Amino acid sequence: MIWRLRTRVLELDRPRLVGILNVTPDSFSDGGRFVDIDHAVAHARRLVDEGADIVDVGGESTRPGSLPVSVSEETERVIPVVERLAAEGMVVSVDTSKPEVALAAVAAGAEIINDVTGMRSPGMRQVASGSRAGVVVMHMKGSPADMQTEPRYEDVVTEVADFLEGQVRRLIEGGVSAESVVVDPGIGFGKTTRHNLELLAALDRLGRNRPVMLGVSRKSLFRSLAGIDDPVERDRISAVAAALAVGEGVRLFRVHNVAYHREATALAWAMVRGQP
């Protein structure tokens, strides 16, 4: 399996780590820590030193209840950081739902567009096909403002799988290469703990046609499942979940603590292959 990005190809011949860089004042676990550009760049270097293959830069929090930010605000937060990281040779992904921000980010050197709204906006699909960027199509029910108010599904796995495949089809019809697209079930986005678990139990099915990216890092399901209130204290259990997902075929992990995840996924990968 490969993932075709804007100017390069990433082999998915082993687990790959996407280090999270939130340049926001209000993200749920690290809000406010990397708003300053030099701090953001220093953190990105650390993510890469620890083994991140990609750095995902986000300028708008999507935590439950968060409110949207304007295009200009998000652009100001994200673009200078993308420029600096790309200039240092890092593979940069931009975590945005706004076509204007995605366009500016690819012009500044981003290789990947990661859209938590699943590329529903025609403008986003145009930017994707025009730029030939890699694309992450994520599932979310509702919007961050309302997604956790009693989400309901008949069958969460079928609904999520159908949505993701439908969006991939639209992208391909719009001229995006099938090899450029990966899918993400959107753990915690309009889902109860039970929905999240049903999806985690069906990762092999979700990954049948397409590489899967998984973002469980520090998420609130670890509060309900393991009683860990402080998001930063959820790094170890996040790495355990990622290791288990390696066994289900997942090759891309969006994570805060790269060092833990590197260890856990490397071990899982050796066990899956039966080779060091």
Residues marked as catalytic: 219, 254
We find the least distance from the C-beta atom of residue 196 to ligand HH2, in angstroms, to be 11
CB 223 within 8 A of CB 34: no
Q: Quick one: 61 or 129, whose CB is closer to ligand HH2?
A: 61
Q: Which residues lie near ligand HH2 (CB under 6 A)? A: 20, 22, 24, 27-29, 58, 61-63, 95, 114, 116, 136, 138, 184, 186-187, 213, 215, 254
CB count, 10 Å around CB of 20? 26
Q: Quick one: 109 or 118, whose CB is closer to ligand HH2?
A: 118
Query: Which residue, 270, 268, 235, is CA-closest to 50?
Result: 235
The Cα 14–Cα 48 span in angstroms is 17
Q: Give the CA count within 13 Å in the CB-facing half-sphere of 130.
A: 13
Q: Which residue of the chain is nearest ligand HH2 when measured via CB?
A: 215
We find the least distance from the C-beta atom of residue 136 to ligand HH2, in angstroms, to be 5
Q: Quick one: 61 or 180, whose CB is closer to ligand HH2?
A: 61
Q: Quick one: 79 or 183, whose CB is closer to ligand HH2?
A: 183
φ/ψ (deg, to 5) at 206:
-65, -25
We find the least distance from the C-beta atom of residue 217 to ligand HH2, in angstroms, to be 7
CB count, 10 Å around CB of 63? 17
Query: Which residue, 59, 55, 68, is CA-closest to 25?
Result: 59
We find the least distance from the C-beta atom of residue 274 to ligand HH2, in angstroms, to be 30
